Amino acid sequence: MKFRQHPFGWVPAAERRHVTRAIWRDGDEIAALCGEVVVAVDTTESWFWGTCEPCNVEAHRIVGVPMPGARRRGTGSR
Ligand SMILES: [Zn+2]
């Protein structure tokens, strides 16, 4: 059985590196964790785009890893 290591993955799209739960390929329209629907751009260059902050925060929350230097938001569980 093949599982991805994490329940999500990074996807470069709209000049940001977003996070998605979808399995995607170049050109796919995917729903990012930040709520945006973006078109995946799989190029060498695109992987150097800046991190989408809301996606990053959400991804940390999913796996239960505290954000480095995160402010406490009082959202508590998950
Ligand atoms: Zn995003």
Q: What is the CATH number of the domain that holds 26?
A: 2.30.30.990
CA of 50 to the centre of ligand 1 (A): 10
Residue 75 reports pLDDT greater than 60: no
CA of 12 to the centre of ligand 1 (A): 9
CA of 32 to the centre of ligand 1 (A): 5
**Per the domain annotation, does 50 fall within a domain?**
yes
**Per the domain annotation, does 44 fall within a domain?**
yes
CA of 66 to the centre of ligand 1 (A): 18
Closest CA to 43 of 69, 22, 25: 25
Structural element, H or E, at residue 39: strand 37-39
Looking at the structure of the chain, the number of domains it has is 1
Give the angle subtended at the CA of 4 by the CAs of 44 and 68, to the nearest 5°: 70
CA of 73 to the centre of ligand 1 (A): 19
The string of pLDDT tens digits covering residues 17-66 is: 999 999 999 999 999 999 999 999 999 999 999 999 999 999 999 889 88
